[in-house]
Structure 1
């Protein structure tokens, strides 16, 4: 019985460590300075969603209870973080729930779009334009670069032994671009 609680705590701790990596990777200046992602709350949210997709896509390939739990904990940590961030920005208590709900809907919509289009890089680029670039025109080279970045990260994670991820070790390529 106590093993269950310690395993659960370990997975929750891993989720916090992995989400920290998601945020750290999403904040790399190259996305905003070189690839033209808007350096704003929305732009950073979109980059967090993209990196969560990359990580969750790998975890989804493992059809185990542990993988399902870790995916759930990662999402919980993300939404806790959203709630806390909104409160720190001064959003009133009555509005936080509505804003988190809207962000959750946006997040799940992006996850579904990315999963659907990952197999076709041209169409995946369209999903990125719609979500990351908010429908604005994007230089073709920038779009190719970010599509290649995502496919490289997905490929690299697929090569990781799952125990590497469960241990909370570094999962993203550090200097991708």
Structure 2
């Protein structure tokens, strides 16, 4: 029994690493920083990882995903913050400061995971509020058209996750919306509407 649990733990970590790489790739897409006005900073990039990773973790923690969903969600969370810890140390953040910052980011991540999951259930305006509160808190607010499209993208992410089975995630596969359709014919993020 212990062997099976250990084997499951190893598999969950391996698959969580694969899921995290997909989340990272999606989160680094230029669309968010060039078209949506997300700050291209450490904080802005964290927000995009928190958005995509948070929706995934919330989905895995649903009751219908069962115990295996929660195991994989925890493994993803652990892999993500191990990566952030390493990244901080690579940037020269002091050993004493890293645990404190990680603790805050963990709290931020959990809050955002809940906020995006709940807002997707509530509709477009609530998603916009969540984006304004978290992503654009200390930066210039984009146009209403940009916010509406970004909100639609977030809701499409949640809808895409709904189509996927637990077995897909345990194979290290997670699918997010194709951003090529969002990247075209899109206005400047801070464009104002003509009167």
TM-score range (shorter-chain normalised) is: over 0.9
* Aligned residue number for residue 109 of structure 1: 111
Matches within 5 A, 1:116-155: 116-120=118-122, 121-134=124-137, 136-155=140-159
- Distance in 2 (alpha carbons) for counterparts of 1:174 and 1:105: 29
Larger radius of gyration: 2
- 1:156 maps onto 2:157 in alignment: no
Deviation at 1:175, TM superposition (A): 2.8
Deviation at 1:124, TM superposition (A): 1.5
* Aligned residue number for residue 189 of structure 2: none
Question: Residues 125 and 143 of structure 1 are in contact (CA less than 8 Å); yes or no, is this contact kept in structure 2?
Answer: yes
- 1:83 maps onto 2:85 in alignment: yes
* Aligned residue number for residue 23 of structure 2: 22
- Distance in 2 (alpha carbons) for counterparts of 1:149 and 1:10: 31
Q: What CA deviation, in whole Å up to 9, does each residue of 1:20-39 have, x standing for no partner?
A: 11111100011001111010
Aligned with 2:88: secondary structure? helix
- Distance in 2 (alpha carbons) for counterparts of 1:90 and 1:16: 24
RMSD: 1.5
- Distance in 2 (alpha carbons) for counterparts of 1:71 and 1:10: 13
- Distance in 2 (alpha carbons) for counterparts of 1:18 and 1:174: 16
Question: Residues 127 and 154 of structure 2 are in contact (CA less than 8 Å); yes or no, is this contact kept in structure 1?
Answer: no
Hey, which bits of structure 1, 4+ residues long, moved more than 6 A? none
Question: Residues 129 and 138 of structure 1 are in contact (CA less than 8 Å); yes or no, is this contact kept in structure 2?
Answer: no
* Aligned residue number for residue 50 of structure 2: 49
Deviation at 1:60, TM superposition (A): 2.3
- Distance in 2 (alpha carbons) for counterparts of 1:52 and 1:170: 10
- Structure 2: gaps of 5 or more residues: 183-195
* Aligned residue number for residue 193 of structure 2: none
Aligned with 1:64: secondary structure? helix
Given the two structures, how large is their TM-score scaled by the length of structure 2?
A: 0.85
Q: What CA deviation, in whole Å up to 9, does each residue of 1:106-131 have, x standing for no partner?
A: 21222222233222220221111110
Aligned residues: 177
Q: What CA deviation, in whole Å up to 9, does each residue of 1:69-128 have, x standing for no partner?
A: 001111111111111010000001111111111211221222222233222220221111
Given the two structures, how large is their TM-score scaled by the length of structure 1?
A: 0.93
